[in-house]
Structure 1
Amino acid sequence: MVTTRLMKYFREYYYKSPLGIPDMLFQREIGFIPFNGTMTRHRKFNGQAEIEDFVRRSVPRHLYYSSSYYRFPDQHKMLEKEWLGAELIFDLDADHIEGADKMTYMEILAEVKKHTLRLLEMLMDDFGFGNKNIRLYFSGGRGYHVHVESDRIYTMDSDSRREIGDYIRIEGLNMEDLKMLDDSYFEFGILKKFNIYISNFYKNLDENYIKNVFGKAWWNYINYLEKFYNGEKIIDFLRNDKGNKFKLLIKQNKSNEKASIDYDRIMLEKILEDFKKSALAEIDEPVTTDIHRLIRFPYSLHGKTGLMVKPIAIDDLKAFNPLDEAIPDIFLEREAKINLKIDKFSIKMNKESYNIFRGENSVPLYVAIFTNAINVAEFI
């Protein structure tokens, strides 16, 4: 019953709403998961009319296309497809966000958005991609998809894409390697950001933070720093210092007399850990490295939420709210009855808050579809 009703609404959506067709559709592999069954892939469609006719007849629960271009996308063996290149894809989801298992759906969306904004900043500032090279989509589920389209990346192999993924996730950045670098390395990219971060940190250093890092030894660290900096009060010294604290401390760690406790090193490692948490973007790295990946079709419906896979302008991401803007218009003006299977469910959709309790409820159709798709309710 649940599947039948959901499928009915999905069919209605596809009859009234066009898909967003990726370029060179005829060179993309198409895959889908039906409402009853498993993944089918290795399909080919030559144009918008053909694929929309198929979707309206078959009504998939999930619809995908390949990030790759092939000479023969409908061949079942990858070698026989003749790979021609692939977009660079980033999938940002709750699966890799620390503490996501304790967050509400709305909190997850907000947290994943932070990581998506960091990713976009790195792609544009550090890699030099412009708005014209980047396509951004709400995934329809718990996050965002970012597609990079550029001649610079189409023929990259998996290893090269993995290096980009490692950079985005700030993998391999450690104090031992940083001590070996000269000043020029800290003038651009992620090291420039770390340079700024650590300079700002030391300028605003306070005793509470030192207590948290060093515990009972915190006063020894203050004494050590004051002695190291010629007896000056360390807080005043750091706030008035116009030099680069990171480079200064790195050089000291190279040549100082190995203080009885290497306080600067301990502090630097703690700051590096905090920096990574604040600056990295948690991506699903296998998606980025896979040159044969299938990704969700623009304007298709996500089978586990009933929300659209919606394109977003990069400048609009900060204000974008999927639970307002990814609801299909045709689901807005009607109500439906559901039986809630759990004690209570709360959600804010279409700028309205809903608190639903176990048993029969009459709710807007988009709430009914959402709760059915996530399997906390059934249609009545």
Structure 2
Amino acid sequence: MWMRLAVIIGAVLIVVSGGGLITIKVLFSSAVSNVGQIDINPGTDNDSVVKGHALVGALNILLVGIDDGRVEGVDERKLEPTRADSIMILHVPASHDRGYLVSLPRDLWVKIPKYPKTGYGGGSGKLNQAYTAGFGDARGGGPGQAGGLDLLMRTIKDVTGITFNAAATVNFTGFTAAVKVLGGVTMYIDERVTSVHYGFYPDGSHCVPALFDGNGVAYPIKACKGRVFEKGTRRLTPEEALDYTRQREWMELGDGDYGRQRHQQQFIKALVQEAKAQGLTTNLPKALSFVKAVGGAVNMWTNNEELADWFLTLKDVAANNVTMIKTNAGKYNPAPVSGTSAEALSEQSKEMFQALRTGKIDDFLFLNSDWINRDS
């Protein structure tokens, strides 16, 4: 699962470190040194984060996938700006031996608190707008990723009651570097998908096949044919893998964000399988390049704990299964807001978050086994 791999680099180390203790130490050092660190000063009035002893007891980590809109061979001025595309919570019980990964719809309609650091006055909007409002204009002195994560944690706390021990962002474009090290990746395409980012004119030149309106709805551009990913097992180039895992429109099953999250999870599993198949356990230089590429895509707020201590605390989670939970049972639940395609949390989703807060998530999943994503 891509978010799990992004934050718990130890998962990669376990996969590729069969060469012995020295190899493990070298790879571990490489991963830790390559992960960027975000400095968030949440302030004394912020009840959305755990204050002190962030590695003790049950843990909640906010995971945000960043899409910077870049597509190789396409004019970047025609693409969408950087945004928070995937928002997840990794919950680890106090035993620190397993995890639960909960996806939050980015179109969830929420109340966003005021954020003086960027001059945002508060209001209602989609969940990913909280990240944008906190990010501000980094070039103009805004807080950037630190502010985006800070305001997003505050917003999610108000909606779900979850408090956070740490947070991380992943630039999914950065994962193409890991695929380049491997020379491509083989994965199963589970539905026919047409790209809204990358297409071709009749003369073979590249173009952007979709135009987005104010509600984020994609409309096809005449003469520009979007690249099609047909169902079946395919060998993808780094650029194709990035394009496929970014899609949420023009999908055969019409499953939007839920489909994209599933495809991203499938991609990371395929990436790890590719690394194993290429024998990285016996090729330390290639293993180092792979781990550096993955770590270079990650930035993390560690809540005043050492990054190495986070990896060591979560090492058993990386070695075991992480249960994927589908908010709203993986079904679109429209919000009662006119003029937008926003979503709302179902009453059962609210029960699920309460179970997560109170340590009763296993009881909830026993009664609601269809909320477990078994397709990733």
Could you state the TM-score of these two structures normalised by the residue count of structure 2?
0.24
Could you state the TM-score of these two structures normalised by the residue count of structure 1?
0.24
Greater share of residues in helix: 1
